[in-house]
Amino acid sequence: MISDAIDLSLIDTLFSRLAAPYAEQIGITRDAYGEGEQRAHELFIETASALGLAVEQDAAGNHFAIYPGEDRDQPAWVVGSHLDSVPQGGNFDGAAGVVAGLIAVAALRERGITPPRDIIVAAFRAEESTWFPASYLGSRSALGKLAAEELALTRADTGRTLAEHLRDCGGDPDAVATGDNWLGQRALHGMLELHIEQGPTLETEKRSVGIVTGIAGSFRYREARCFGEWGHSGAVAKPYRHDALMAFAELAMALEQAWDTLEQDGRRATVTVGQIATPPAQHAFSKIPGEVGFCLDVRSEDPAVLVDLEATLQTTIERLERERGVRFDLGPRTASTPAPMSAALTQRAATLATQLKISHRLMPSGAGHDAATFANAGVPTQMLFVRNQHGSHNPFEAMRIEDFVEGIRVLAALIQE
Ligand SMILES: [Zn+2]
């Protein structure tokens, strides 16, 4: 049984060493292309080398540990995640997927199992967009998908460019700019990423493992506004009011209703207004709001759902402008494409989890991950979620080692094929 070869003490050592530098601080801060992330990469190199694996560093400073398969010419598996964290985040978001890759390979090695193809355990850089204003910088570089101009992006806290930070970490920005990178030269069989779940579903349903069906795409408006007409709260009768806040409220409820209807049809999405405000310099207790600013974040793993919700947004705005005499300005729009997981891999992972008697469920990922880079590049990709008790991007994120081991068992079974 491969399960018996899973090295619990190595798991404990790795997570303890990853957390150790932050013992006196709130949460974990592994800054992308900075000291925190670099330390984690050095631990990765040390651990992989101790396991007898060859380690490659690419031009973007990503690291890859290679466990040779039976046929070195076969397209390889990539198994991994990222080693950066958000500021004052937790120890598991990202790092769990890298540790899982190392532990799974260590278990195969312990059992003397040579897989049919090479297994490449990957530790990616800079997945979180809190440091540089872009996601998946490391994994996109690894696949030659980073736009050269992104090297000029500056890190939020240091103000220095990605190129400068990359050089500090032994990378080569000029080579990254050409798109020519180590992993891109290899034929890939598939990509697997284990990650803590970042919501409460598995914990609530008492299941250890989530088998991800797709990673949500999104459309977002961060600076939307609705303009009406300021007025005296008592003096303007209903037919003459152009209340920006009430118009916005009706828009928000229309989107929530459209979302409810989608859910009833088994189509999943999330609709979030994370911020809303009337202008503090103008608003007052006894004034009809003449302006309201708001954000809108809509996500779904299904591109058709995003199209439908955006159509609802537009038609509702047109109706409200007509009926209420207000005007909406949605401001700049950003969007990302949903990344479907490989249906064959999803099915295979579910079958293996059932055979291994691991409590699991199929579920979408509302958050973005390095796996999306691979899926969108046409590499068959599968994510596995592990139950986590306190969400993520906070110091309290948690993961029981017994759940982590269940995730690794599925991972180890997949990479033997
Ligand atoms: Zn992550």
CA 290 to chain centre: 37
47 CA distance to ligand 1 centroid (A)?
21
Confidence of residue 335 (pLDDT cuts 50, 70, 90): confident
Calculate what percentage of the chain has a pLDDT beyond 90.
92
277 CA distance to ligand 1 centroid (A)?
30
87 CA distance to ligand 1 centroid (A)?
13
Q: State the Cα–Cα distance between residues 147 and 140, nearest whole angstrom.
A: 9
DSSP H helix total and E strand total for the chain: 12, 17
Structural domains of the chain sorted by starting position, each given as residue range(s) with its CATH number in brackets: 2-215+339-414 (3.40.630.10), 217-336 (3.30.70.360)
For position 361, what pLDDT does the model report?
A: 97
- Report DSSP state, residue 75: P
Q: What are the Cα distances from residue 73, in Å, to 7, 108, 353?
A: 29, 20, 29
Q: State the Cα–Cα distance between residues 167 and 173, nearest whole angstrom.
A: 7
Q: State the Cα–Cα distance between residues 156 and 71, nearest whole angstrom.
A: 45
161 CA distance to ligand 1 centroid (A)?
22
376 CA distance to ligand 1 centroid (A)?
17
Q: State the Cα–Cα distance between residues 32 and 84, nearest whole angstrom.
A: 5
Confidence of residue 373 (pLDDT cuts 50, 70, 90): very high
Q: Which amino acid is at 168?
A: D
198 CA distance to ligand 1 centroid (A)?
9
Confidence of residue 249 (pLDDT cuts 50, 70, 90): very high
pTM value is 0.87
Nearest partner of 57 among 167, 170, 155, judged by Cα: 170
195 CA distance to ligand 1 centroid (A)?
7
37 CA distance to ligand 1 centroid (A)?
13
369 CA distance to ligand 1 centroid (A)?
6
26 CA distance to ligand 1 centroid (A)?
19
Is pLDDT above 80 for 49?
yes
For position 155, what pLDDT does the model report?
A: 95
127 CA distance to ligand 1 centroid (A)?
7
Is pLDDT above 90 for 230?
yes
Poorest-pLDDT segment among 82-86, 128-132, 358-362, 410-414: 128-132
With beta carbons less than 8 A apart as the criterion, state whether 175 and 59 touch.
yes
Looking at the DSSP assignment, which residues form a beta bridge with residue 362? 211
344 CA distance to ligand 1 centroid (A)?
24
Mean pLDDT, range 218-222, rounded to an integer: 93
With beta carbons less than 8 A apart as the criterion, state whether 130 and 156 touch.
yes
Place of tokens 């003459």: 240
Place of tokens 């440091």: 131
Q: What is the DSSP string of 85-125?
A: --TTB-SSTTHHHHHHHHHHHHHHHHTTPPPSS-EEEEEES
Q: State the Cα–Cα distance between residues 210 and 248, nearest whole angstrom.
A: 36
Is pLDDT above 90 for 391?
no
167 CA distance to ligand 1 centroid (A)?
24
State the helix-helix crossing angle for 8-19 and 95-110, rounded to 10 degrees: 150
Mean pLDDT, range 284-292, rounded to an integer: 97
Q: State the Cα–Cα distance between residues 132 and 156, nearest whole angstrom.
A: 6
82 CA distance to ligand 1 centroid (A)?
7
Q: State the Cα–Cα distance between residues 98 and 27, nearest whole angstrom.
A: 19
3 state DSSP class of 270:
strand
Q: What's the mean pLDDT when you consider all of the chain?
A: 95
Is pLDDT above 90 for 136?
yes
Q: Which amino acid is at 143?
A: L
For position 380, what pLDDT does the model report?
A: 98
326 CA distance to ligand 1 centroid (A)?
41
353 CA distance to ligand 1 centroid (A)?
23
Q: State the Cα–Cα distance between residues 297 and 273, nearest whole angstrom.
A: 6
